């Protein structure tokens, strides 16, 4: 017997909710573990800045002390040349080192951040995911995290890279001539104020741009997910118009953003040039009237560019940073959402549950004002089968959603084995309860991987096949050329609705849960196959409490308790025989379905089937 290569999935119910305790809100927090590398990057960048500044000072020296005196000695020239080479080497290597360290920490920070964000997203509640837009979430995990990466790799380090040379070079100018120093920074407060003004403008425009981009990705994502509906209703034109509208809106907001940048550049550029001209003007007149030497003027001119352009670029970075900060807030917003605690619970279960449920006037509402379940009262013993029948929207799915605590009931009392359901840790309940959802979802992986998905342990091929057999899907799988290795979805086969349901059923059966919930799990299966599944299930349902939601009386007949639901209430309750003996919906449905089946049988036999 071979064991499958499917990786063992970690059980949802673990000893510790690592992420629940970790909220990666706060930029300093996000940098944890890489702060020193980052600091190292800043130090390297300052060393390279000092090297550059020394080069300029040396240049001034060369002019003043050597060249100005004529006929310099070659040994002096060689010493200067060597000095320049050493300084250049210093500057180059430390720039490289600084960049490397910054890139290293930025990449690692974002790598971890993205993983944590994904982890956090997965742990958010059903309620959150019910409301959140997939496209928007994708946008936050991809584009916003990327924008944050740029904050760390380029912008934050960039500001450091520019501020340090500014300070160092400014001190150097002050040392040359303090009046010149003060004149050289005349325009700087104005440049900074302008940058802050644009910082605010650009952040709000960028935020609205990002929001619209998220709307656009949601539109695209929905269109692609629902492409069959679009085609079936021939709504391509409508969809195109909708996409075009959102796309145009994105263009409009993008244009508004670019416009702001377009105003920003020339404004600060001209301020920087005015500053340069003032510096040169004053500097040259001081040189002409002999207050400073030509060498000093030369060094000053070089140093002046080293303080004006950094400041102008700091402005640019501040503006770019504003966009990074918007993205940071969008990411932090997700981290601020409470994760669904999986291990918390007033009650610590010691072993498997028995499966006795007691509903006592249970009420439930998704939204404040719309009560979905009213006054649900029934009892079931361990190992019993509870069946639910009722019109669409009557609250059957909502009722079973309460059991694994996907949602918490809002009134009355609901106990499992005599303990309040809300005292159980959610992770534990989900380990104990297997649910075949009404609209099962299969991953784009092999059929085997899909079936093994919830087992949480090493599974043998024989077990996979046994589960598939019980779900009446084994033969179907074998009919595919690749058998259990057949890929499902996108790059593989498209399974029929009934096949999907049965693979999902096999997945839940393999999990071997104490409590089994089958939400309309055979609705897309023909009567004959349903019969086969029912027979197999009868074995599997033994000793485990089972909830069946079905539309056919045949499927619910065997239940110990049948609940007939209507508008969120139980309108009839009892066994098949009890309910048949009563006036009511159940008997009507039974009579109707029996009559249809009889007629169908007659028709089929008349055509020889
Ligand atoms: C009952 C609402 C739904 C309906 C009522 C699952 C779900 C349902 N509802 C929500 O607001 N949010 C949800 O996540 O609750 O719905 P149901 O429980 O799904 O009904 P059902 O299972 O009996 O119907 P069906 O069609 O599956 O037989 O008002 O809007
Ligand atoms: Mg339902």
How high is the pLDDT of residue 179?
Answer: 87
- The binding-site residues of ligand 1, defined as CB within 6 angstroms of any ligand atom, are 130, 366, 372, 390, 392-398, 438
| pLDDT at residue 373 greater than cutoff 90 | yes
Phi, psi of 404 (to 5 degrees): -85, 10
* Among candidate residues 159, 170, 161, 172, the one with its CA nearest the CA of residue 47: 161
Which CA distances in Å does 333 have to 26, 326, 327, 341, 433? 11, 11, 10, 18, 32
Q: Whose CA is nearest to atom 11 of ligand 1?
A: 366
The alpha carbon of 120 and the centre of ligand 1 are apart by a number of angstroms equal to 27
Model confidence over 49-66: pLDDT tens digits?
788 878 877 887 887 777
* Ranges assigned E (strand) in 369-461: 370-380, 385-390, 411-416, 419-420, 433-436
Report how far residue 197's alpha carbon sits from residue 366's, in angstroms, rounded to the nearest whole number. Answer: 44
The alpha carbon of 563 and the centre of ligand 2 are apart by a number of angstroms equal to 14
Report how far residue 324's alpha carbon sits from residue 113's, in angstroms, rounded to the nearest whole number. Answer: 14
The pair of structure tokens assigned to 196 is 């802050």
How high is the pLDDT of residue 423?
Answer: 92
Across residues 54-79, what is the average pLDDT? 79
How high is the pLDDT of residue 554?
Answer: 80
The alpha carbon of 393 and the centre of ligand 1 are apart by a number of angstroms equal to 5
Q: Whose CA is nearest to atom 3 of ligand 1?
A: 393
The alpha carbon of 470 and the centre of ligand 1 are apart by a number of angstroms equal to 29
Across residues 295-300, what is the average pLDDT? 87
Please report, rounded to a whole number, the percentage of residues in the chain having pLDDT higher than 70.
95
Atom of ligand 1 nearest to the CA of 565: 23
Greatest alpha-carbon pair distance for the chain in Å reads 124
Please report, rounded to a whole number, the percentage of residues in the chain having pLDDT higher than 90.
29
* Among candidate residues 369, 349, 389, 387, the one with its CA nearest the CA of residue 566: 389
* Among candidate residues 254, 390, 263, 399, the one with its CA nearest the CA of residue 319: 263
| pLDDT at residue 251 greater than cutoff 90 | yes
How high is the pLDDT of residue 12?
Answer: 42
| Residue 609's pLDDT band (cuts 50, 70, 90) | low
The alpha carbon of 551 and the centre of ligand 2 are apart by a number of angstroms equal to 11
Mutation choice for ligand 1 from 368, 392, 397, CB with most ligand atoms inside 8 A: 397
Locus of tokens 């930025």: 106
Report how far residue 143's alpha carbon sits from residue 158's, in angstroms, rounded to the nearest whole number. Answer: 21
Element (H, E) at 104: helix 74-123
The alpha carbon of 398 and the centre of ligand 2 are apart by a number of angstroms equal to 7
Q: Comparing 76 with 374, which gets the higher pLDDT?
A: 374
Q: Whose CA is nearest to atom 10 of ligand 1?
A: 366
Atom of ligand 1 nearest to the CA of 407: 14
Mean pLDDT of the chain: 85
How high is the pLDDT of residue 263?
Answer: 92
Phi, psi of 434 (to 5 degrees): -110, 130
Across residues 394-399, what is the average pLDDT? 92
* Among candidate residues 529, 535, 581, the one with its CA nearest the CA of residue 558: 535
| pLDDT at residue 16 greater than cutoff 70 | no
* Among candidate residues 226, 217, 223, the one with its CA nearest the CA of residue 250: 217
The number of the ligand nearest the C-alpha atom of 568 reads 1
Helix axes 461-470, 497-511, angle to 10 degrees: 130
Atom of ligand 1 nearest to the CA of 520: 27
Q: How many C-alpha atoms does 352 have within 13 Å on its Cβ side?
A: 12
Report how far residue 230's alpha carbon sits from residue 209's, in angstroms, rounded to the nearest whole number. Answer: 27
Report how far residue 319's alpha carbon sits from residue 168's, in angstroms, rounded to the nearest whole number. Answer: 24
Phi, psi of 365 (to 5 degrees): -140, 135
Mutation choice for ligand 1 from 376, 398, 399, CB with most ligand atoms inside 8 A: 398
Report how far residue 51's alpha carbon sits from residue 28's, in angstroms, rounded to the nearest whole number. Answer: 30
- Bridge partners of 359, per DSSP, are 378, 414
Model confidence over 358-370: pLDDT tens digits?
999 999 998 877 8
Which CA distances in Å does 108 have to 36, 114, 382? 13, 10, 51
The alpha carbon of 240 and the centre of ligand 1 are apart by a number of angstroms equal to 31
Q: Comparing 320 with 219, which gets the higher pLDDT?
A: 219
| Residue 3's pLDDT band (cuts 50, 70, 90) | very low
Euclidean distance between the first and final Cα of the chain, in Å?
41
Helices (H), 124-133: 126-131
Across residues 24-38, what is the average pLDDT? 81
The pair of structure tokens assigned to 477 is 């799988």
Atom of ligand 1 nearest to the CA of 394: 23
Atom of ligand 1 nearest to the CA of 399: 18
| pLDDT at residue 607 greater than cutoff 80 | no
The alpha carbon of 396 and the centre of ligand 2 are apart by a number of angstroms equal to 6
Q: Whose CA is nearest to atom 28 of ligand 1?
A: 392
């Amino acid at each position: 017997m071979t064991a499958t290569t499917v990786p063992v999935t970690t059980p949802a119910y673990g000893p510790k909710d690592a992420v629940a305790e970790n909220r990666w809100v706060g930029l300093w927090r996000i940098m944890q573990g890489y702060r020193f590398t980052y600091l190292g990057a800043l130090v390297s960048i300052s060393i390279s800045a000092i090297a550059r500044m020394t080069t300029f000072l040396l240049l001034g020296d060369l002019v003043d002390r050597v060249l100005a005196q004529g006929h310099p000695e070659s040994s002096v020239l060689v010493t200067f040349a060597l000095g320049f080479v050493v300084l250049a080497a210093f500057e180059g290597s430390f720039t490289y080192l600084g960049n490397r360290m910054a890139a290293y920490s930025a990449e690692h920070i974002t790598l971890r951040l993205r993983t944590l964000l994904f982890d956090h997203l997965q742990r958010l509640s059903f309620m959150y995911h019910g409301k959140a837009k997939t496209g928007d979430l994708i946008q936050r995990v991809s584009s916003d995290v990327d924008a944050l990466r740029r904050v760390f790799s380029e912008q934050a380090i960039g500001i450091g890279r520019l501020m340090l040379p500014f300070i160092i070079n400014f001190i150097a100018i002050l040392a040359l001539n303090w009046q010149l120093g003060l004149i050289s920074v005349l325009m700087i407060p104005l440049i900074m104020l302008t940058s802050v003004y644009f910082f605010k403008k650009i952040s709000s425009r960028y935020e609205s741009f990002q929001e619209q981009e998220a709307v656009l990705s949601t539109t695209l994502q929905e269109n692609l997910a629902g492409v069959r509906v679009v085609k079936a209703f021939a709504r391509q034109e409508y969809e195109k118009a909708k996409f075009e509208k959102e796309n145009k809106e994105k263009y409009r907001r993008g244009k508004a953003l670019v416009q702001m940048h377009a105003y920003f550049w020339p404004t600060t550029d001209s301020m920087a040039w005015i500053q340069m001209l003032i510096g040169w003007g004053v500097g040259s007149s001081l040189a002409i009237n002999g207050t400073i030497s030509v060498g000093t003027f030369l060094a000053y001119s070089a140093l002046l560019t080293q303080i004006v352009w950094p400041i102008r670029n700091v402005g640019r970075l501040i503006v770019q940073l504003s966009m990074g900060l918007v993205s940071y807030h969008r990411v932090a917003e997700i981290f601020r959402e409470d994760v669904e605690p999986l291990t918390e619970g007033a009650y610590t279960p010691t072993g498997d549950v028995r499966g006795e449920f007691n509903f006592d006037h249970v009420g439930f509402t998704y939204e404040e004002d719309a009560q979905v379940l009213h006054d649900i009262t029934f009892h079931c013993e361990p190992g019993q089968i509870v069946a639910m029948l009722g019109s669409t929207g009557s609250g059957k799915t909502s009722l079973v959603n309460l059991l694994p605590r996907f949602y918490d009931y809002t009134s009355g009392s609901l106990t499992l084995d005599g303990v309040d359901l809300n005292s159980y840790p959610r992770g534990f309940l989900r380990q104990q309860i297997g649910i075949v959802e009404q609209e099962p979802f299969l991953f784009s992986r092999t059929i085997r991987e899909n079936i093994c998905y919830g087992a949480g342990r090493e599974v043998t091929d024989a077990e996979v096949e046994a589960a598939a057999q019980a779900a009446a899907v084994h033969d179907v799988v074998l009919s595919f050329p690749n058998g259990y290795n057949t890929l499902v979805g996108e790059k593989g086969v498209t399974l029929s609705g009934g096949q999907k349901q049965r693979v999902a059923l096999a997945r839940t059966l393999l999990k071997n849960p104490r409590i089994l919930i089958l939400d309309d799990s055979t609705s897309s299966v023909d009567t004959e196959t349903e019969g086969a599944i029912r027979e197999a299930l009868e074995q599997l349902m033994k000793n485990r409490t089972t909830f069946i939601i079905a539309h056919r009386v045949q499927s619910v007949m065997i239940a110990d308790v049948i609940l007939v639901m209507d508008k969120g209430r139980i309108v009839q309750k009892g066994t098949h025989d009890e309910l048949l003996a009563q006036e009511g919906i159940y008997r009507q449905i039974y009579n109707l379905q029996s009559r249809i089946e009889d007629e169908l049988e007659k028709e089929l036999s008349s055509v020889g089937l």
